[in-house]
Chains A and B, each alone.
Chain A
Amino acid sequence: MLIEYLPIFLVFGFAIIFAIATVFSSTIFGPKRPTSEKLSTYESGMKPIGTTHDRVSVKYYIVAMLFIIFDLEVIFVYPWAVQFKRLYAELGISIFFSMLLFLVVFEIGFLYAYKKGGFKWD
């Protein structure tokens, strides 16, 4: 039934109003005395050096890509997990081995990424 999702939208509405109210409350109540020193970037008391929009280590991109692959794997597992007991009663052990095969194929990919140094941080 779709009606059971109505409270979720009410929660969303409440959370959005609460978030906006909280974030803007100190703009209303707090003082406003900006100085250029106050508005400069904090860098342990020194003048900021260089830019922040610089290149980022490639390792983070590798982690992000691996995350997408393995998180998709998790999503494939969920429907199987929810239906497992029912399907096992119906189809027997084959339902276990079919998912095992899928996971083994994925873990070969995992081992490949491991051997290639995809998870190496040093």
Chain B
Amino acid sequence: MGILELIIVSLIKIIVIAVVMLLTVSYLVYFERKIAAWAQNRIGPNRVGPAGIFQPFADVLKLLLKEDIVPTAANKQMHTLAPMIALFVAFSTFAVLPVGPSFTAFGKVFSFVVADVNIGILYVLALTSVGVYAITFSGWSSGSKYSLLGGIRSSAQMISYEISMGFSVAGVILLAESLRPIAIVNAQSGWMWNIILQPIGFITFLVSAFAETNRLPFDLPEAEPELVGGYHTEYSSMKFAAFFLSEYANMIISSALIVTLYLGGWQIPYLELLNLSAGWVVILQVGAFIFKLVFIMFFFIWVRWSIPRFRYDQLMNIGWKVMFPLSLLNLLWVAILAMIL
């Protein structure tokens, strides 16, 4: 494939993914509000359009037309840089995650991934670490006590859970013998999903993913009763929207990562027994990925409205004294499993 062709194909994929991502974020917010309303016996947004389905667009439009307030106590450059980092991370992480298998059409090979690099998982972990800077910078630069406390808490929380996340991922790459996300999915063909082979690793990764995305029960950085809005207390208009958007985009990325690493990506067990044509197989497999992704995202929302928030010392205790040893145990278990198999 020539370089020009690669650039054009990649740009098309990037734009498609960005549009899909923005739409998914909009409707994720909408469904979160609807599910919250359902969980709390309310109606939820129902004014803009039928059953409120245009609510996300109204929200974005409202934020776009709001005044951009930068407090005098804030460090202007850092205050502007922080939401940019958050958005940058949210929109570049998805590039390595495969949505479906590669297929051949019109004599060319197409794949459902922007960049099929052999360090894919390291790339994801590196970018999520960069995401910590967005929250730290925003907390520090706002010049508000709530923001500072939220930012510091959040960075301590995120780096604590990154360790158990790293060890859980080590178990996955041990079985797949590769850091390439497509190879990891291919290694889980049939029923060899990592959730079945290493359930402890799945649980530690899931909990770490909740902590990394600052979702309840780990949303200490923006614990409303004590810290008002946490690190984005002093943000308004589209800068606030940037944080909001990146938070939900990170939720999508975490869900996609969970599906890729533990739920077999696009794999459907025993699909080959049905003798379908190649086109249908691709469509069904992409559908399977989207189905799993939606289920995990629903799980994120479900947990948020079911479980109360942890206290900060409990959060750190779970991170260091429970999740870290458990993820180590999981790694040993996977190594023994690899020796037996």
Assess whether B162 is interfacial by the CB under 8 Å rule.
yes
CA distance A33 to B321 in the complex (A): 51
- A1 CB → nearest B CB, Å: 10
Question: Is there contact, CB below 8 Å, between A41 and B143?
Answer: yes
CA distance A50 to B238 in the complex (A): 29
Question: Is there contact, CB below 8 Å, between B87 and A18?
Answer: yes
CB nearest neighbor in B for A30: B67
How many residues of chain A are within 8 Å of chain B by beta carbon? 69
Of B71, B92, B178, the residue contacting A82 (CB under 8 A) is: B178
Question: Is there contact, CB below 8 Å, between A60 and B64?
Answer: no
Q: For the complex, would chain B's binding face be called helix, strand, loop or mixed by DSSP majority?
A: helix
CA distance A107 to B339 in the complex (A): 23
Residue numbers in A under 8 Å from B135 (CB-CB): none
CA distance A95 to B245 in the complex (A): 45
Contact flags (1/0) for B57-76 with A, using CB distance below 8 Å? 00000011111111111000
Residue numbers in B under 8 Å from A43 (CB-CB): 144-146
- B214 CB → nearest A CB, Å: 16
Residue numbers in B under 8 Å from A78 (CB-CB): 122, 170, 173, 179
- Which of A22-55 touch B at CB < 8 Å? 22-27, 29-34, 36, 38-44, 48, 50, 52
CA distance A14 to B15 in the complex (A): 9
- Which of B254-270 touch A at CB < 8 Å? none
Question: Is there contact, CB below 8 Å, between B167 and A74?
Answer: yes
Question: Is there contact, CB below 8 Å, between B68 and A27?
Answer: yes
How many residues of chain B are within 8 Å of chain A by beta carbon? 83
Residue numbers in B under 8 Å from A31 (CB-CB): 65, 67
CA distance A75 to B91 in the complex (A): 25
CA distance A70 to B179 in the complex (A): 20
Of A19, A40, A114, the residue contacting B84 (CB under 8 A) is: A19
Assess whether B186 is interfacial by the CB under 8 Å rule.
no
Residue numbers in B under 8 Å from A64 (CB-CB): 156, 159
Contact flags (1/0) for B122-147 with A, using CB distance below 8 Å? 11000000000000000000111111
Question: Is there contact, CB below 8 Å, between B84 and A23?
Answer: yes
Question: Is there contact, CB below 8 Å, between A6 and B143?
Answer: no
Question: Is there contact, CB below 8 Å, between B152 and A60?
Answer: yes
Max chain B Cβ within 10 angstroms of own Cβ: one of A6, A20, A42: A42
Please provide the 4 A-B residue pairs with the shortest distance between their CB atoms, ordered closest to farther: A121-B313, A74-B166, A26-B237, A7-B115
In the complex, 24 of the A-B residue pairs with CB atoms within 8 angstroms, ordered by the A residue number, are A6-B3, A8-B96, A18-B18, A19-B88, A23-B87, A23-B242, A30-B64, A30-B65, A31-B67, A39-B69, A41-B144, A43-B144, A52-B144, A60-B152, A63-B160, A63-B316, A74-B166, A75-B166, A86-B177, A88-B339, A119-B317, A121-B313, A121-B317, A122-B313
A interface, CB within 8 angstroms of B: 3-8, 10-12, 14-16, 18-20, 22-27, 29-34, 36, 38-44, 48, 50, 52, 56, 59-60, 63-64, 66-67, 70-71, 74-75, 77-78, 81-86, 88, 93, 96, 99-100, 103, 107, 110, 114, 119, 121-122
7 other A-B residue contacts (CB within 8 Å) besides A12-B88, A96-B339, A119-B317? A10-B114, A11-B114, A14-B11, A16-B88, A42-B144, A77-B167, A85-B174
